[in-house]
């Protein structure tokens, strides 16, 4: 039996240090500028592509790390640099995970490379699930996909919202309803290829935080895509729908995972790692400030009120990281989330990020409330973690249902 260890191996440490250098030298100096501009930082994405950070190969290497720690380690370092820029760099990954979770080998090989482009012409991708009236309530999804058998095409109509890279993406992955009677069990995922007529960007959102990441509505008006763009293929979809219909007729309660939830389950520990990165960044700023800021003739860290806050902050960050690492290890080694460990990691890390960044502002006092120091931006950025890819309330619902076996509402 292999010896249990929480130590990163030499390869992991090398990657971590490489990413940390990029975050410190490239992302942090540009963070305030792109936050103010509220624009996608294309030059930084291109720099990441030149270094090999923004690429399918890099994320594949981290994804297939046998310990499961490659992705959370990478997310933590990049989001330590800056959450908005980091999300612009890794946002394509959610669409890629959607294809990996639901697509065939041919679809994976065809579409994921087009999501990233190349170092001379970088591209981004978008995963489109949420709708104006269907966020946490995925069963209320109104976007429809209708199969045109004569042409072997799917026709998509609807409006998606809160889509990272929505409208500016080269490839869009869209979750749509193919059988409304089945609720969330009647959903499927589709690839919308580049320059497909009928897809357009709607409202671009002016956000509280992560402002360097593009978030917008995606409008689908009679969007026609080839039958081959249904992720997983029609035969697999028909089999899944038939099982769901039989269960519905029999009054059975078999839980059939829909396309969006399969993607979110795979990505929740990664979101937890993002939150850990932001929390760690704010904690380090607060720690350095407390060591150098003097009041009444001594550094403020000499006061228990400050020192104990920092002790709690560090403890919570380390605990969050351990939950994320456990969930990531379980996912990689094929261990089921019998206690909703993925949701646990995302819930706890998200709440820690909000709390720690708020405490960092308090420790810096008036300086923390100004844009001269980065903690106010980190606090604004941290607010998103308890909202996107399943709110904290939804995570608690998932955990409670898993633990109790009851359909808690």
The tokens describing 94, both together, are: 């959610």
Is 389 designated active site? Answer: yes
Give residues with Cβ within 8 angstroms of 199, minimum separation 6: 172, 192, 218, 219, 220, 221, 223
By three-state DSSP, how is residue 177 classified?
strand
Long-range contacts at 293-302 (CB < 8 A, ≥ 24 apart): 293/364, 300/363
Residue 176 pairs with which residues in a beta bridge? 188
DSSP 379-399: HHHHGGGGTTTS-HHHHHHHH
Distances (CA, A) of 292 to 23, 286, 299, 357, 369: 24, 10, 6, 19, 18
Distance CA 200, CA 218 (A): 6
Do 160 and 153 contact (CB within 8 A), yes or no?
Answer: no
- Catalytic residue, from 217, 254, 389, 393: name it: 389
**Maximum Cα–Cα distance across the chain:** 82
Give the C-alpha separation, 302 to 330, whole Å: 41
Extract the tokens encoding 193. Answer: 């290829």
Helices (H) and strands (E) in the chain, counts: 14, 11
Question: 177 has which bridge partners?
Answer: 144, 187
| 125 beta partners | 171
Asked if 212 contacts 41 with a C-beta cutoff of 8 angstroms, the reply is yes
Would you please indicate which residues are annotated as catalytic (active-site) residues? Answer: 389
């Amino acid at each position: 039996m292999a010896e249990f260890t929480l130590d990163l191996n030499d390869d992991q440490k090398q990657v971590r240090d490489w990413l940390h250098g990029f975050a410190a030298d490239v992302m942090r100096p540009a963070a305030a500028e792109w936050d103010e501009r509220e624009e996608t930082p294309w030059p930084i994405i291109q720099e990441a592509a030149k270094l090999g950070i923004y690429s399918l190969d890099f994320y594949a290497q981290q994804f297939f790390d046998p310990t499961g720690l490659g992705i959370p380690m990478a997310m933590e370092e990049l989001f330590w640099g800056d959450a908005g820029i980091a999300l612009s760099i890794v946002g394509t990954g959610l669409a890629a995970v959607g294809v990996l979770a639901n697509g065939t080998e041919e679809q994976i090989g065809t579409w994921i490379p087009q999501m990233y482009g190349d170092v001379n012409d970088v591209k981004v991708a978008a995963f489109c699930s949420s709708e104006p009236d269907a966020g946490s309530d995925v069963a209320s999804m109104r976007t429809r996909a209708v199969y045109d058998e004569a042409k072997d095409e799917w026709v998509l109509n609807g409006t998606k919202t809160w889509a990272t890279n929505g409208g500016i993406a080269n490839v869009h992955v869209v979750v749509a309803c193919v059988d409304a009677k089945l609720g969330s069990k009647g959903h499927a995922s589709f690839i919308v290829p580049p320059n497909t007529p009928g897809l357009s960007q709607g409202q671009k959102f002016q956000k509280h935080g992560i402002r360097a990441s593009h978030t917008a509505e995606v409008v689908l008006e009679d969007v026609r895509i080839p039958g081959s763009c249904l992720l997983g293929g029609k035969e697999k979809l028909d089999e899944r729908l038939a099982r769901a219909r039989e269960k519905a007729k029999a009054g059975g309660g078999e839980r059939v995972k829909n396309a969006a939830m399969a993607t979110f389950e795979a990505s929740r520990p990664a979101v937890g790692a993002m939150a850990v990165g932001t929390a760690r960044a704010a904690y380090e700023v607060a720690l350095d400030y407390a060591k150098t800021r003097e009041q009444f003739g001594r550094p403020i860290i000499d006061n228990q009120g400050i020192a104990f806050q920092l002790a709690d902050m560090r403890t919570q960050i380390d605990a969050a990281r351990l939950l994320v690492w456990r969930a990531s290890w379980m996912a990689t080694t094929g261990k089921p989330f019998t206690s909703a460990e993925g949701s646990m990691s995302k819930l706890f890390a998200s709440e820690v990020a909000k709390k720690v960044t708020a405490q960092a502002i308090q420790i810096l006092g008036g300086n923390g409330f100004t844009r001269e120091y980065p903690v106010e931006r980190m606090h604004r950025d941290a607010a998103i973690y308890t909202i996107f890819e399943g709110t904290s309330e939804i995570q608690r619902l998932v955990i409670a249902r898993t633990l109790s076996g009851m359909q808690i509402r």
